[in-house]
Structure formats: C-alpha cells, structure tokens
A and B are shown apart, each in its own frame.
Chain A
C-alpha cells in the first residue's frame, strides 16, 4: 500500500503492490473504497476508485490529524470482500456502418475482417474498472488482445452519445456527446447517465458487461 497526497485536500492510495492479477486487484480496490466510504471518517467528502487506487477527498479543517493512519488501518483490514453475485448488464449495440465510424481503421490495424471484429467485441466479457472521464463513462477491462488498437491520432471534436468505442486495452461507451479519441465501433440506444435517477449511472465499478449485437430496426425500437 502506497499513500500519496493528491493536492492538499485528498490522498490517493495505490494497492498495485499487493496483488498482481488485475481482476483480483480491482476486487481489492473496490473493497478498500467501500470500507473507507462506510467508515464515514470526519471531514471525508468523497471516495472514488480506479484500476489500482482509491482516492479520498476531504474538507481539511474538519479532518482529524491522524486521518492517514486511520485510512491505512481501514484498508489493511478491508481484505478482498467477496461480494455475492456480480451484477451482469447487457448492452445492445448496433454495429451498422452508419455508427461504426472507425471499423475500417480497426480492420486496417488488426488485419481482421469487420465481421470478425464485431464478433470478438460482442463475445467478450468485460468488467467495469471505474466510471470517469465524463459522467457515466465506463472504463471496461477485458477487451480481447487482437482488438488492442491505439487512439485516433487526432481526437474527434464530437462523438455522439451512445457511441461504443475501444482504445488500447480498454473498451468504453460515451454516455454523452463529447470530444473523444477512441475508435468508435457502434452505438447503443441505452442511456448510461441519467441525471434524475439514483444512482445516476447504468453501470457501477465491478459490474460484468457484455455487448449484444442488434439490428438498425431494433435500435430504433429501443430508442423509442
């Protein structure tokens, strides 16, 4: 466990030295984050996690001087909580040409036929490592090795909401329209971020995700 300051009002705790396999590490990170959040330490206002670290944000004047020691003890004792059942979420994706803006680019990089790319992308099982970059954006681990393709040389100024994309070892879905540099393979009609719901995101860290191919007609039905 390595604890660093993240500015003057947060700490970031890296757990990569504890576990080498990535899914075990993610389980450990999520367990540590849940433990810190549950402890409701005075002055702690936010807790978030990513692949191998937990970040704890605080309101400095409210914090007790031994907060770093307390966090150390809490995380050390958190272990890896084996949560009963993983949530499984299916995400329907239309891979039609109209939506698959970078299918040709990925085909060029991988020497795979477009159908083979879609088959690989929609047959893999992914785990949500974290939500970030923008509200509701899932960073998905588990992209098959042959599909590891670098980001676009220059990012698009506008990627539409629902775009399903890959970059290097990661897969993701753009919940909102935004600039972006990932390779877009298709689009989902699902809304991944809904401001009026609680929680506001469709996915949570640790969820198991699969993409399911749908036709353009099914996409239109979903959207309604």
Chain B
C-alpha cells in the first residue's frame, strides 16, 4: 500500500530517529529534529517508537490514503484535518481518504502513520539526509505526485484502531514542548564568563538562513578573546558554536559531525524539541543550568515516555 502526496508542502521529509553509530564515517545522526515528538506519535498509532514518519515544516500538505490507517502527530501549532474532523495534537485518528496538514503558528510537526513509511533503509535508517542527498525518498524533500510505500500494521495497531470511537481517540500522549520559554543550556568547553554574560543577557533573533543543520542567531555580537579556529573535533546536536562573526549557531539534529569553532555552550537534550520549533525571525533567550540538572531532566523525560508506553501496553497489549 502507498500514500499519495497530493500537495507536498515545503521541505516535507521522511524521518525516523536517525543513523546511530556512524559518526566516524562523517555520517550525521540526522532524523527527526525533535525525536521525542516523533516517538510519542508513533507510540500512539501502535508503531515502534522510531518508525519512519513525516516531518512537516510549512505549506499545505495533503495526503491521500488508499486503505485505512491510524494517524497521530506532534510538534508545533498545526491544524490536521480528516474530512470535517480536526485531529488534536497527540491524539490518534482513523483515516481512509484524504488528510490535510496546515501550519498555524507553525514550526515543525511530525506525523506518524500506522505501519510506518516503508522506504528502503540506507545505513540502517529511513531518515532523509538532505545535505548528503540519501535516505528517505531519493534523498530529497517530497514533491507533489510522490507515492510513499507504507509498511504492514502490527497487531497492536489493529487493537488501537478498534478502540478509537468516531475517528478520533479520547486518549492522548503527554505534551512536553512549550513555546516562549528560554532554551536551557549548560556550559561548553570554551565557555568563559564574558561570553556567558553576553549569551544570557540578550534576546536573539533566528536568522533567515537557519535550517535542519542549525539555528543561526542574530543579536549583539559576542566578542571572543580567542578568535582563531580551534583544532576540529566532535560537535553534537545542541552544541552552540561561536564563529569569528560573533553570531552564535545552535546545531540541530542535521548538523555536521565535527567543527572547528569554539563550543561555548550546549542546549540540553530535553529542550532540543523546542529549538526545533523556532523559525526565522522568532526570538529566543537562554538560561544557564548545571550539567547535573540537565541529566536529571533527561532521565525524568525518558521515565515519562516509558510510563506512557507502559500505559498503552497495559490498555492495548
């Protein structure tokens, strides 16, 4: 079975949880910019957490199904319509014809479909690497008229479907991401108090040339005592680099594997989902926390997801 892309929107891509363990080949983990949103949407429809779904950015996305599937979505402020029904965020719905996904305030949204999107795995993942042009559908964003293969549904999907009354579920998954909060950071190895003061004191604006690799920030220039490039070494999603221009860059899931600019700070993992919602011209602030607290927050988040998963298994398993 396939799903037909009637209207592809802008920069819609197939994404899963990305390629793990391949950094030594220069291959970025990539995958959904907010893996937690994709994982929750997948759990809702009865898929394994890291099943491939769609990452929606902007523009109107219209999909046509040819068999009955279950959908769920998470992420930013979008309107998802199945016929006359709205599908609220982090609920699931039955669909057998067309659905429409329209950005409201927008950001990014992740759509999970029962059975998942069954494009070939490349280097262990179905994620689209737009920069290296592989994975997903032919290594590119979707276009009008594309057909995406869908996988077979699990037994769990069937049991979830049987419980959905009137198209939309009366249960939902926990929502973690909220707009307007500062991004929490921890110190990077090239942090110093002058850089830190400048980073924490101001509101930055997200620059137009931001993408899946990183958020380029505009604001008052951060002067750095050490302007020379350092020896290139590993960077990771969340790393805040300070290039010689003095304008920081927050690396996102699609970032390169190594970099030579000073690493002044890191956005904590649980806030990367919020970073993924930021769009050009949005404003953002930072708040400093300690590494220990970042670890506690991440453990707590994973416990909450495990609890939700256990709840679903108890109900449908």
Contacts and interface: CB of A to CB of B under 8 A. Distances in A.
Interface string B1-39: 000000000000000000011111111110000000000
A132 B26 contact: yes
Interface stretch (A47-55, A92-100, A105-113, A118-126): A47-55
Interface stretch (A69-77, A83-91, A183-191, A193-201): A193-201
A134 B233 contact: no
Interface in B264-286: 266-269
B266 A45 contact: no
Nearest to B139: A195
A49 B21 CA distance: 12
Given A132-B232, A200-B25, A200-B27, A8 B258 contact: no
Contacts of B269: 7-9, 60
A71 to B, nearest CB: 14
Interface of A: 4-10, 12, 14, 16, 33, 45-53, 55, 57, 60-61, 130-137, 139, 176-178, 193, 195-196, 199-201, 205
B234 A60 contact: no
B172 to A, nearest CB: 24
B24 A47 contact: yes
B25 to A, nearest CB: 5
A199 B268 CA distance: 32
A61 B295 CA distance: 9
Given A8-B291, A9-B236, A135 B266 contact: no
Contacts of A47: 23-24
A133 B258 contact: yes
Interface string B200-236: 0000000000000000000000000000000111111
Interface in B260-317: 263, 266-269, 291, 294-295, 298-299, 302-303
B257 A133 contact: yes
Contact of A8 (B26, B189, B298): B298
Nearest to A9: B269
B132 interface: yes
Nearest to B232: A50
A133 B256 contact: yes
A61 B270 CA distance: 13
Contact of B23 (A8, A48, A195): A48
B195 to A, nearest CB: 16
A46 to B, nearest CB: 5
B234 A61 contact: no
B234 A8 contact: no
B166 to A, nearest CB: 37
Nearest 8 A/B pairs, CB to CB: A55-B234, A132-B258, A7-B266, A48-B23, A8-B294, A4-B189, A131-B26, A132-B257
A132 B133 CA distance: 16
Given A12-B234, A200-B123, A60 B302 contact: yes
Contact of B25 (A49, A50, A53, A199): A199
Contacts of B258: 48, 50, 130, 132-133
B238 interface: yes
B50 to A, nearest CB: 12
Contacts of B235: 6
B263 to A, nearest CB: 8
B185 to A, nearest CB: 10
B65 interface: no
B24 A48 contact: yes
B266 A6 contact: yes
A53 B186 contact: no
A9 B257 CA distance: 15
Nearest to B29: A46
B119 to A, nearest CB: 13
A1 to B, nearest CB: 14
A83 B123 CA distance: 28
B234 A176 contact: no
A7 B28 CA distance: 16
A149 to B, nearest CB: 15
Contacts of B129: 135
Given A7-B268, A133-B258, 20 more contacts: A6-B234, A7-B236, A7-B267, A7-B269, A8-B238, A33-B24, A46-B20, A48-B23, A50-B232, A55-B234, A61-B299, A130-B232, A132-B257, A135-B129, A136-B25, A139-B232, A178-B131, A196-B122, A200-B123, A205-B24
